[in-house]
Every structure is written in C-alpha cells, then in structure tokens.
Amino acid sequence: MKRDVTRIFPCPTCGKPSILSAENSWRPFCSERCKMIDLGSWAAEDHKIAGEPAINQDEWDDQN
C-alpha cells in the first residue's frame, strides 16, 4: 500500500517551510509572492546558468 508522505523543504526565496505537494500551487515556493520574487530575479539576470554564451554579442551587433 502506498503511503502519502508530506515533504517540507525550505522555500528557495525566503527559507520558510514549504510543503511539496499538489495542494501547494506555488511549490517549491511557500507563496505566490516568493514565486514572483524569484521570477523577477531571473528576469533581471540576477540568476544565471553557468556556461558559454550561446551568441557572441559582438557578432550579433555586427549582423543587426
């Protein structure tokens, strides 16, 4: 028999407990506010994925 286990992890934005279940529509965040703060950080390029740029900015500027 399968047992449902409630998993609680810290919210990536504020660190408060966040329930990781279908009942929490903002998972892994604790609230919509924390989700939007994280989205804003990505949009402002505060968060980046390491690696080589996909496009050389100088070459892109020369073509346009």
| Residue 26 CB burial class (10 angstroms; 0-12, 13-18, ≥19) | middle
User: Domain containing 34 — which CATH number?
Assistant: 3.30.50.10
**Contact indicator for 17, 30 with CB cutoff of 8 Å:** yes
Residue 59 lies in a domain: no
CA separation for the pair 56, 28 (Å, rounded): 34
What is the chain's pLDDT, residue by residue, as a tens digit (64 residues)? 566 778 999 999 999 999 999 889 999 999 999 999 999 999 998 988 888 877 777 776 767 5
Work out how many domains the chain is built from and give that number.
1
Residue 52 lies in a domain: no
Residue 62 lies in a domain: no
Pairing of strands 8-10, 17-19: antiparallel
Domain range spanning residue 18? Answer: 1-47
